[in-house]
Amino acid sequence: MRFRSIRRLVIAASVAAGVCVATIPGLAAAQSPVQITFWSWVPNIQTEVNQFNASHPGIQVNYVNAGQGETEYQKLTTALQAGSGAPDVVQVEYQYIPQYVALHGLANIAKYIPANTGKLFVNWVWNQVSPNSKTVWAIPQDSGPLGMLYRTDIFQQYGLTVPTTWTQFAADAVKLHAANPSDYLADFPVNDGGALFGMIWQTGAKPFTVKGTTITINLDSPTIKNWAEFWGKLIYAGDVAAQPDFETAWYTDLTNGTYASMTPAAAWAPVFLEGVASSTSGKWGAALTPRWSTKGAPINGNWGGSTSAVTSQSKYPKQAAEFADWLNTNTQSASEFANTQSLYPTLKSLANSPSYANQSVAFYGGQQVNKLFAKASTEVNTNFQFSPFQIEVYTVLQDQLGEASLGQETFATAMKNTQAQVVAYAKLQGYKVNT
């Protein structure tokens, strides 16, 4: 008590005398909190940042919206290459973590976070950020396990059953288009590398295996080639569309029933669809992704989702890691992300909690959509890896499948060309490539 009284008197006297308190030994930490910068594009994330700042007076987070997706990544890459200007904590999607690890742009925060952190998250999600027990590149924030959203009224009108296999999906696509040539069961998004890779993930294929500077590339494996030819056959027959997603025409076609389903649809898609097709409320249902094989355990893929990563330029990696961990594991923060900002949770306790999983959604006829996607998340292939140059992979894949959808080459040739171009690029980047 005596020490505390003297401490208060010293502070009061120093302020009265105009002395900078931060110069007094033992008082600097209390009066000068660590300042860290955080880049993210999540809407209204300042709310969670404010909560952290209020509960952590020794660490103050300054939030910056540096742009969404590619806009932020360009700024981040430039800063990392320049050696300055990167934030302490940054939002990074799963598919780009290997790319920034290869740039030596992310800090290994394993020693700064609780040892049991990984056990809080769904297994496959944690595998995306932590390749081994001694390495953690980021803290998961949200995810996008795949499912299927479909028009219940259209399915009923044309006597379609919700497909549980891709063979049945193809039969439904043929039946619907024959009955109404203006409509399609789905659209194959040739312009969207994230969606395409989510679909490849769901086949059980392993397009990449990365070990340091050695990479195995199998983009034209029999499994992936069969996937491409499956969709190519439907596209050539006119039974599914092959148009760019997230464009005006695509939004219109989802609303007016030209597309009888959104396939693939990630766990974030149900809320998204409510916003863009609000006039169709009550006409949609949700289902698990059709299976490629009925043998063995179901295999699913993921499309989207982000993490909070600490950059290698941070002068305060311990405090930055504390913020990244709190932001995504604190009960209040994670719950607000899920329920207010509509991010699909990666925490097992939240995704499976009755208050979240059992929510009845009127847009989907009262269905418990969150519970369905919680099931979908448990089926995601845990061993899937992205490449250290995923932006280039997406570009090549989109170009090749785009040409194939226009009949300029076969879908099998598209995957063969994708393989060749990505192998050549990897070698130019200095990787030892196995095929």
Q: What's the pLDDT score for residue 22?
A: 40
DSSP characters for 176-203?
HHHH-TT-BS-B--TT-HHHHHHHHHHT
Identity of the residue numbered 407: G
Pairing mode, if any, of strands 89-93 and 34-39? Answer: parallel
DSSP characters for 72-126?
HHHHHHHHHHHTS---SEEEEEGGGHHHHHHTT-B---GGGS-TTGGGGB-HHHH
Query: Per-residue pLDDT tens for 265-324?
Result: 999 999 999 999 999 999 999 999 999 999 999 999 999 999 999 999 999 999 999 999
Give dist(CA 283, CA 365) in Å, integer.
7
Return contacts of 161-167, CB within 8 angstroms, 24+ apart.
162/285, 162/287, 163/287, 163/290, 164/288, 164/290, 164/291, 165/290, 165/291, 165/292, 165/294, 166/230, 166/290, 166/291, 166/292
Per-residue tens of pLDDT for the chain, all 435 residues: 332 332 332 233 333 333 333 444 444 445 689 999 999 999 999 999 999 999 999 999 999 999 999 999 999 999 999 999 999 999 999 999 999 999 999 999 999 999 999 999 999 999 999 999 999 999 999 999 999 999 999 999 999 999 999 999 999 999 999 999 999 999 999 999 999 999 999 999 999 999 999 999 999 999 999 999 999 999 999 999 999 999 999 999 999 999 999 999 999 999 999 999 999 999 999 999 999 999 999 999 999 999 999 999 999 999 999 999 999 999 999 999 999 999 999 999 999 999 999 999 999 999 999 999 999 999 999 999 999 999 999 999 999 999 999 999 999 999 999 999 999 999 999 999 999
CA distances from 393 to 55, 316, 397 (A): 42, 34, 6
- pTM metric for this prediction: 0.91
**Structure letter (DSSP) for residue 33:** P
Q: What angle do CA 346, 62, 343 make, to 5 degrees?
A: 20
Q: Which two structure tokens, joined as six digits, stand for 271?
A: 């809320």
Q: Which two structure tokens, joined as six digits, stand for 423?
A: 């192998």
Q: What's the pLDDT score for residue 13?
A: 32
All residues at 6 or more sequence positions from 179 whose CB lies less than 8 Å from its CB, including other chains:
158
Asked if 151 and 284 count as a contact pair (C-beta separation under 8 A), the reply is yes
Query: Per-residue pLDDT tens for 13-34?
Result: 333 333 333 444 444 445 689 9
All residues at 6 or more sequence positions from 398 whose CB lies less than 8 Å from its CB, including other chains:
190, 191, 192, 193, 196
Bridge partners, 340 (sequence order): none
Identity of the residue numbered 299: I
**SS3 state at 287:** strand
Dihedral in degrees, nearest 10, Cα atoms 8, 11, 13, 19: 170
Place of tokens 């030819």: 229
Alpha carbon 198 to its chain's center: 10
Q: What's the pLDDT score for residue 31?
A: 66
